Structure 1
Amino acid sequence: MKKIAVLGAGSWGTALSIVLADNGHSVRLWSHRAEQAEAINNTKRNERYLDVELPEGIQAFSDLNEAVKGTEAVLIVVPAKAIREVTRSLQHVLPDGATIIHATKGIEPVTLKRVSEMIVEEFPEYPSDDIVVLSGPSHAEEVALRHPTTVTVAAKNPEKSKHAQNLFNSDTFRVYTSQDVLGLELGGALKNIIALGAGISDGLGYGDNAKSALITRGLAEITRLGTSLGANPISFLGLSGVGDLIVTCTSVHSRNWRAGNLLGKGHQLDDVLSEMGMVVEGVRTVKAAYQIAEEQAVEMPITSGIYQILFENKNPKDAVTQLMTRDKREEMAGLDQMLKDLYS
């Protein structure tokens, strides 16, 4: 039995705590709200986020020092906007030799930093090659019900990714390993943009034809941007790429799809975010990806259209028309060269 801290008591942090507890580990689930931690311990439920009975192996804390004391791994599952603050606090209390794993999907606007890069900046003493990222097609609601789920963990240090694999892998939660941290983080973050678009399409009343085209061309955009930054294009064909893209674009469990759906029905962004009541990572990621695409001179028409809808009040139907009337071109333009370069 291992002692593991999970920082972030939202739906995803709670679901991953269930996986770890089912595997026989002692899980210390940290919330920044004392009342939430107390309620979890008293009721063995986290009703606001996942209304399922929690295993006995999960104990909640609101004191970060107490939560991580004596642990051999710390899993960070807070929203991307809270990563820096939590990491700054963690660097003073992390036990020697403990492995940092994160399962947060997002890119920071302005700095354009991925989550692992933010962790390195706030905790420079921790070896950057040892940071593990966990990503893949995984709705918290289904993980909590022990439905079959498959994800990938990546670290530049393969021993660390294998360690994380051993902690999480089970007969309902299968874990693969990778060394492409960049690819996993970009795939997990950028798919939220396309999920917003899929929700907008559904909210406008368009059908499966439109959504399948959006997913396919969205994958092309993600791959173009990711490879321009140095990611392995094959990663975007894996679980953290096309796998996560499909599940996030096609399910009502997806916050980003739900937010996009409301936007497509005519709701304003501020009202949508207020109604959701939970973080919609895709909104922040659109800003960051739009900036990166401009800097890298990478064409991302879907991302640009969603950016205009979110931040320039463009009518969603006009954005769709703009996409449909772009200059004609070959389908595999650019992508075929990526694959040739990969296998040359």
Structure 2
Amino acid sequence: MSDNESQPVLERIEERVHIRRENWHTEETPMLPPFEWMDETCIVSRHTRIGLESKRRYLLDTILISINGTKETPGAIARDYLKSKYRHGPKWTASQRTKIREELVDSPVYVSPCSFEEGYYVDIQACFWSVMVRCGWQVCYFPGKHLGVGTPPLDFPFTENKRARNCLVTVGRSNSMQLWTPSKGTFERRTQNYLANTQLYCLIMDCLHGIANEAVAAGAVYVATDGYIAPNYKSMMLIYEIVKSWGFIPTIKGEGEGFVNNLGSYRVGRLYIKMPTEKTSSYNNLKQVRYHKWLRERMALSLIEAPWHEAFITRPRSIGHDKHT
């Protein structure tokens, strides 16, 4: 297979998809087979079962993306794109690696149970994607010290698919795979991920935790990754402006009377969570981003001064490299 850069990116992805279909027997199914049905070592995920001996792939058909009549998972498509365009993840120094591992955390979650008469659900529009577009996929990030911009994935063919967009970030996050065997059950095995990109994930998480802390200070009673529930109009306006001050685009997904009970249990007007429960429970995993002002200034600069098109960042440049004090 040739990865000629002059070849359209969609053709390169399609070529990889067809080769995978030729080498693996693939079944699209509305429900993945139970582990008990598998009599071999399998790679497992939420959307796939892959038998290593039989070379059979079972794909959950509800999440598949069609490429000229051939379907594939968003994760596989994201990997195919990244391999074709970037080939490998960004390089980093030993000190940079150490700092990122110190700062790396999961998505922000904050829950303060309450009820309200006029609440609002504020959401960040295409958060993961907007960071990649403006800072580049192979961003050079040293928390509190340096933010260097790389080439953005502007030619990714499936920008309308949120799951596929987010997979451009998550495929670089993991250095392990989940396996299942009849004798051991489910376990993880470390692997070498040539598309590893912890810098991008750390940058996004730092932005989200920085925004989350400001949103809670402004009155938010619920935070889940890039969504915020404000219990009144005043808090909503403050959170709306906070999101904008980081250079992101806020949207209102729901408004009206409602409640917050616990993680994954809330109502804001007509916006319901899928599995509501009356049990109430508080939760807070917010990271105090010591350099959040430094980061907010640079993110706002990268977003406000530069439009979302290829002319903005076609070559690496620095947004700021002065050390935070």
Q: Normalising by structure 2, what TM-score?
A: 0.32
Q: Which has the higher strand share?
A: 2
Q: Normalising by structure 1, what TM-score?
A: 0.30
Q: Specify which structure has the bigger relative contact order, considering alpha-carbon pairs within 8 angstroms and separated by 6 or more residues.
A: 2
Q: State which structure, 1 or 2, has the greater radius of gyration over its C-alpha atoms.
A: 2
